[in-house]
Protein backbone atom coordinates (compact mmCIF):
# COMPACT_ATOMS: atom_id res chain seq x y z
CA UNK A 1 0.00 0.00 0.00
CA UNK A 2 1.60 3.25 -1.07
CA UNK A 3 1.15 6.45 0.93
CA UNK A 4 1.21 10.05 -0.17
CA UNK A 5 4.52 11.31 -1.50
CA UNK A 6 6.53 13.09 1.21
CA UNK A 7 6.48 16.86 1.12
CA UNK A 8 9.83 18.31 0.07
CA UNK A 9 11.63 20.63 2.45
CA UNK A 10 11.12 24.23 1.37
CA UNK A 11 13.64 27.05 1.38
CA UNK A 12 12.02 30.48 1.54
CA UNK A 13 13.74 33.82 0.92
CA UNK A 14 11.72 36.96 1.68
CA UNK A 15 9.09 36.79 4.44
CA UNK A 16 7.54 40.26 4.32
CA UNK A 17 3.91 41.28 3.71
CA UNK A 18 3.32 38.42 1.25
CA UNK A 19 5.96 35.85 2.19
CA UNK A 20 5.29 35.96 5.93
CA UNK A 21 1.63 34.89 5.74
CA UNK A 22 2.44 32.23 3.14
CA UNK A 23 5.15 30.71 5.32
CA UNK A 24 2.82 30.65 8.33
CA UNK A 25 0.21 28.79 6.27
CA UNK A 26 2.72 26.29 4.89
CA UNK A 27 4.09 25.50 8.35
CA UNK A 28 0.56 25.09 9.73
CA UNK A 29 -0.17 22.62 6.94
CA UNK A 30 2.79 20.42 7.80
CA UNK A 31 5.60 21.71 5.61
CA UNK A 32 9.17 22.08 6.81
CA UNK A 33 10.28 25.58 5.81
CA UNK A 34 13.73 27.16 6.23
CA UNK A 35 13.49 30.92 5.93
CA UNK A 36 15.80 33.87 5.37
CA UNK A 37 15.10 37.59 5.34
CA UNK A 38 17.37 40.63 5.60
CA UNK A 39 14.98 42.20 8.15
CA UNK A 40 15.47 40.49 11.54
CA UNK A 41 11.92 41.24 12.73
CA UNK A 42 10.43 39.44 9.74
CA UNK A 43 12.72 36.47 10.25
CA UNK A 44 11.80 36.30 13.93
CA UNK A 45 8.08 36.40 13.10
CA UNK A 46 8.44 33.50 10.64
CA UNK A 47 10.37 31.46 13.21
CA UNK A 48 7.68 32.23 15.81
CA UNK A 49 5.16 30.77 13.33
CA UNK A 50 7.16 27.52 13.23
CA UNK A 51 9.66 27.99 10.42
CA UNK A 52 13.36 27.25 10.79
CA UNK A 53 15.83 30.12 10.61
CA UNK A 54 18.50 30.21 7.91
CA UNK A 55 21.63 32.37 7.94
CA UNK A 56 21.60 33.22 4.22
CA UNK A 57 19.76 32.42 0.99
CA UNK A 58 22.26 29.60 0.41
CA UNK A 59 21.52 28.22 3.87
CA UNK A 60 17.78 28.32 3.17
CA UNK A 61 18.30 26.46 -0.13
CA UNK A 62 20.60 23.76 1.22
CA UNK A 63 18.78 20.41 1.03
CA UNK A 64 15.50 21.97 -0.15
CA UNK A 65 13.43 20.40 -2.89
CA UNK A 66 11.84 23.74 -3.75
CA UNK A 67 13.30 27.18 -3.06
CA UNK A 68 10.66 29.91 -2.93
CA UNK A 69 11.37 33.61 -3.42
CA UNK A 70 9.11 36.50 -2.44
CA UNK A 71 11.20 39.65 -2.90
CA UNK A 72 10.47 43.31 -3.66
CA UNK A 73 12.67 44.03 -6.72
CA UNK A 74 14.47 42.43 -9.63
CA UNK A 75 17.82 43.36 -8.12
CA UNK A 76 16.84 41.71 -4.83
CA UNK A 77 16.02 38.47 -6.65
CA UNK A 78 19.34 38.54 -8.50
CA UNK A 79 21.26 39.19 -5.29
CA UNK A 80 19.44 36.43 -3.38
CA UNK A 81 20.08 33.82 -6.05
CA UNK A 82 23.38 34.78 -7.68
CA UNK A 83 25.05 37.06 -5.14
CA UNK A 84 27.43 36.07 -2.32
CA UNK A 85 25.86 33.31 -0.21
CA UNK A 86 23.17 33.08 -2.89
CA UNK A 87 20.84 30.20 -3.65
CA UNK A 88 22.90 29.07 -6.66
CA UNK A 89 25.83 28.12 -4.42
CA UNK A 90 23.76 25.54 -2.51
CA UNK A 91 20.84 24.34 -4.64
CA UNK A 92 21.20 20.92 -6.24
CA UNK A 93 19.25 19.22 -9.00
CA UNK A 94 16.47 18.19 -9.21
CA UNK A 95 15.45 21.09 -6.94
CA UNK A 96 13.62 24.05 -8.48
CA UNK A 97 13.32 27.74 -7.72
CA UNK A 98 9.76 29.13 -7.62
CA UNK A 99 9.79 32.93 -7.74
CA UNK A 100 6.62 34.65 -6.51
CA UNK A 101 8.22 38.09 -6.99
CA UNK A 102 7.14 40.63 -9.61
CA UNK A 103 10.29 41.34 -11.63
CA UNK A 104 11.36 42.53 -15.07
CA UNK A 105 10.24 40.03 -17.70
CA UNK A 106 13.48 39.74 -19.67
CA UNK A 107 15.68 39.62 -16.61
CA UNK A 108 13.41 36.97 -15.15
CA UNK A 109 13.90 34.85 -18.27
CA UNK A 110 17.62 35.42 -17.94
CA UNK A 111 17.61 34.22 -14.32
CA UNK A 112 15.96 30.97 -15.40
CA UNK A 113 18.58 30.36 -18.09
CA UNK A 114 21.43 31.27 -15.77
CA UNK A 115 20.27 28.95 -12.98
CA UNK A 116 19.97 26.09 -15.48
CA UNK A 117 23.47 26.77 -16.78
CA UNK A 118 25.15 27.18 -13.39
CA UNK A 119 23.30 24.64 -11.24
CA UNK A 120 21.29 22.42 -13.61
CA UNK A 121 18.07 23.43 -11.82
CA UNK A 122 14.75 24.65 -13.18
CA UNK A 123 13.12 28.01 -12.49
CA UNK A 124 9.40 28.79 -12.37
CA UNK A 125 8.21 32.40 -12.40
CA UNK A 126 4.98 32.51 -10.39
CA UNK A 127 3.96 36.10 -9.58
CA UNK A 128 0.75 36.39 -7.61
CA UNK A 129 -2.24 38.64 -7.04
CA UNK A 130 -4.58 38.85 -4.08
CA UNK A 131 -2.60 40.53 -1.31
CA UNK A 132 -1.62 39.35 2.18
CA UNK A 133 -5.09 38.00 3.13
CA UNK A 134 -5.09 35.68 0.10
CA UNK A 135 -1.49 34.69 0.82
CA UNK A 136 -2.50 33.69 4.35
CA UNK A 137 -5.56 31.79 3.13
CA UNK A 138 -3.90 30.03 0.20
CA UNK A 139 -6.30 31.66 -2.27
CA UNK A 140 -3.89 33.67 -4.43
CA UNK A 141 -4.15 33.98 -8.18
CA UNK A 142 -0.87 32.60 -9.52
CA UNK A 143 0.46 33.38 -13.01
CA UNK A 144 2.99 30.71 -13.95
CA UNK A 145 5.79 30.63 -16.50
CA UNK A 146 8.25 27.78 -16.89
CA UNK A 147 9.16 24.59 -18.69
CA UNK A 148 6.41 21.97 -18.30
CA UNK A 149 8.58 19.57 -16.28
CA UNK A 150 9.53 22.34 -13.84
CA UNK A 151 5.96 23.51 -13.42
CA UNK A 152 4.90 19.90 -12.83
CA UNK A 153 7.63 19.44 -10.22
CA UNK A 154 6.31 22.48 -8.38
CA UNK A 155 2.68 21.35 -8.64
CA UNK A 156 2.72 19.91 -5.12
CA UNK A 157 2.82 23.53 -3.97
CA UNK A 158 -0.02 24.97 -6.04
CA UNK A 159 -2.98 23.74 -3.93
CA UNK A 160 -1.31 25.24 -0.87
CA UNK A 161 -0.95 28.78 -2.22
CA UNK A 162 -3.50 29.43 -4.94
CA UNK A 163 -7.20 29.25 -5.71
CA UNK A 164 -6.34 29.77 -9.38
CA UNK A 165 -3.03 28.68 -10.90
CA UNK A 166 -2.55 29.12 -14.65
CA UNK A 167 0.50 27.95 -16.60
CA UNK A 168 0.81 30.67 -19.24
CA UNK A 169 3.83 29.31 -21.13
CA UNK A 170 7.65 29.14 -21.00
CA UNK A 171 9.85 31.09 -18.57
CA UNK A 172 8.77 34.74 -18.44
CA UNK A 173 5.16 34.06 -19.46
CA UNK A 174 3.91 34.34 -15.88
CA UNK A 175 5.72 37.65 -15.51
CA UNK A 176 4.18 38.96 -18.74
CA UNK A 177 0.72 38.07 -17.39
CA UNK A 178 1.56 39.89 -14.14
CA UNK A 179 2.46 43.03 -16.11
CA UNK A 180 -1.04 42.99 -17.57
CA UNK A 181 -2.53 42.35 -14.13
CA UNK A 182 -0.69 45.37 -12.72
CA UNK A 183 -1.74 47.53 -15.66
CA UNK A 184 -5.38 46.82 -14.75
CA UNK A 185 -4.79 47.11 -10.99
CA UNK A 186 -2.85 50.39 -11.15
CA UNK A 187 -5.37 52.11 -13.41
CA UNK A 188 -8.29 50.85 -11.32
CA UNK A 189 -6.75 52.31 -8.16
CA UNK A 190 -6.82 55.76 -9.74
CA UNK A 191 -10.37 55.33 -11.03
CA UNK A 192 -11.65 54.24 -7.62
CA UNK A 193 -10.08 57.27 -5.95
CA UNK A 194 -11.80 59.53 -8.47
CA UNK A 195 -15.09 57.69 -7.90
CA UNK A 196 -14.86 58.15 -4.13
CA UNK A 197 -14.19 61.89 -4.43
CA UNK A 198 -16.99 62.31 -6.97
CA UNK A 199 -19.46 60.49 -4.71
CA UNK A 200 -18.48 62.66 -1.75
CA UNK A 201 -18.74 65.82 -3.84
CA UNK A 202 -22.20 64.76 -5.03
CA UNK A 203 -23.38 64.46 -1.43
CA UNK A 204 -24.27 60.77 -1.57
CA UNK A 205 -23.07 58.11 0.86
CA UNK A 206 -19.79 57.16 -0.79
CA UNK A 207 -19.36 54.17 1.50
CA UNK A 208 -22.46 52.51 0.04
CA UNK A 209 -21.24 52.41 -3.55
CA UNK A 210 -19.88 48.83 -3.34
CA UNK A 211 -23.33 47.71 -2.16
CA UNK A 212 -25.08 49.83 -4.77
CA UNK A 213 -22.94 48.65 -7.70
CA UNK A 214 -22.60 44.98 -6.69
CA UNK A 215 -23.39 42.66 -9.57
CA UNK A 216 -23.12 45.37 -12.22
CA UNK A 217 -20.35 45.96 -14.73
CA UNK A 218 -18.45 48.21 -12.30
CA UNK A 219 -18.28 45.52 -9.61
CA UNK A 220 -15.10 43.67 -8.76
CA UNK A 221 -12.64 42.72 -6.06
CA UNK A 222 -11.03 46.14 -5.89
CA UNK A 223 -14.39 47.91 -5.58
CA UNK A 224 -15.42 45.60 -2.75
CA UNK A 225 -12.11 45.45 -0.87
CA UNK A 226 -9.93 48.43 -1.79
CA UNK A 227 -12.50 51.18 -2.30
CA UNK A 228 -13.89 50.97 1.29
CA UNK A 229 -10.37 51.60 2.62
CA UNK A 230 -10.13 54.69 0.42
CA UNK A 231 -13.44 56.08 1.69
CA UNK A 232 -12.47 55.36 5.30
CA UNK A 233 -8.96 56.80 4.75
CA UNK A 234 -7.47 53.58 6.06
CA UNK A 235 -3.96 53.50 4.64
CA UNK A 236 -2.21 50.90 6.82
CA UNK A 237 -0.28 48.84 4.24
CA UNK A 238 -1.74 45.66 2.84
CA UNK A 239 0.47 46.42 -0.16
CA UNK A 240 3.01 49.24 -0.19
CA UNK A 241 2.50 52.24 -2.48
CA UNK A 242 6.19 52.01 -3.40
CA UNK A 243 5.66 48.47 -4.63
CA UNK A 244 2.79 49.43 -6.92
CA UNK A 245 4.94 52.27 -8.25
CA UNK A 246 7.72 49.77 -8.93
CA UNK A 247 5.28 47.50 -10.74
CA UNK A 248 3.89 50.35 -12.84
CA UNK A 249 7.43 51.32 -13.82
CA UNK A 250 7.90 47.72 -14.99
CA UNK A 251 4.61 47.83 -16.91
CA UNK A 252 5.64 51.06 -18.62
CA UNK A 253 9.03 49.65 -19.64
CA UNK A 254 7.47 46.38 -20.82
CA UNK A 255 4.88 48.21 -22.93
CA UNK A 256 7.59 50.42 -24.37
CA UNK A 257 9.72 47.44 -25.39
CA UNK A 258 6.70 45.91 -27.10
CA UNK A 259 5.72 49.26 -28.66
CA UNK A 260 2.29 48.58 -27.19
CA UNK A 261 0.28 51.76 -26.43
CA UNK A 262 -0.48 52.16 -22.72
CA UNK A 263 -1.63 55.76 -22.08
CA UNK A 264 -3.75 54.81 -19.06
CA UNK A 265 -0.79 53.07 -17.46
CA UNK A 266 1.18 56.27 -17.94
CA UNK A 267 -1.44 58.26 -16.05
CA UNK A 268 -1.46 55.81 -13.14
CA UNK A 269 2.34 55.80 -13.10
CA UNK A 270 2.44 59.61 -12.85
CA UNK A 271 0.01 59.55 -9.93
CA UNK A 272 2.06 57.03 -7.97
CA UNK A 273 5.27 58.93 -8.69
CA UNK A 274 3.62 62.00 -7.16
CA UNK A 275 2.35 60.01 -4.18
CA UNK A 276 5.80 58.65 -3.38
CA UNK A 277 7.38 62.08 -3.92
CA UNK A 278 5.01 63.45 -1.26
CA UNK A 279 6.44 60.95 1.22
CA UNK A 280 3.80 58.23 1.21
CA UNK A 281 5.88 55.29 -0.01
CA UNK A 282 5.18 53.14 3.05
CA UNK A 283 1.41 53.62 3.02
CA UNK A 284 -1.07 51.27 1.39
CA UNK A 285 -1.65 51.48 -2.35
CA UNK A 286 -5.08 52.95 -1.55
CA UNK A 287 -3.31 56.11 -0.35
CA UNK A 288 -3.45 57.41 -3.93
CA UNK A 289 -6.68 58.88 -2.56
CA UNK A 290 -4.51 61.51 -0.86
CA UNK A 291 -3.76 63.11 -4.23
CA UNK A 292 -7.45 63.92 -4.67
CA UNK A 293 -7.98 65.55 -1.27
CA UNK A 294 -8.36 69.33 -0.95
CA UNK A 295 -5.79 71.01 1.34
CA UNK A 296 -8.26 70.92 4.23
CA UNK A 297 -8.94 67.16 3.93
CA UNK A 298 -12.06 65.30 2.79
CA UNK A 299 -14.91 67.11 1.08
CA UNK A 300 -16.69 69.39 3.58
CA UNK A 301 -20.06 67.80 2.76
CA UNK A 302 -18.78 64.37 3.73
CA UNK A 303 -20.33 63.28 7.03
CA UNK A 304 -20.00 60.13 9.05
CA UNK A 305 -23.00 57.84 8.92
CA UNK A 306 -24.85 58.02 12.25
- As annotated, the active-site residues are 178
Instruction: Please report, in angstroms and rounded to a whole number, the separation of the first and last CA atoms in the chain.
Output: 64
In angstroms and rounded to an integer, the radius of gyration of the C-alpha atoms of the chain is: 21
Amino acid sequence: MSGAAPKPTLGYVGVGLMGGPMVARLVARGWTVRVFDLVPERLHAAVAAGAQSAASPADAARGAGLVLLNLPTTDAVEQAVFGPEGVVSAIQAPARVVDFSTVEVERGRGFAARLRAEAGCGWVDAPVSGGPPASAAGTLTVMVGGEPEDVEAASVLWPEVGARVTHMGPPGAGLAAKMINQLIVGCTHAVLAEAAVMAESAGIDAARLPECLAGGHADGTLLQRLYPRMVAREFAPQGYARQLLKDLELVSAFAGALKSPAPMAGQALSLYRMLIRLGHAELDTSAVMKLYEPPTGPHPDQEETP
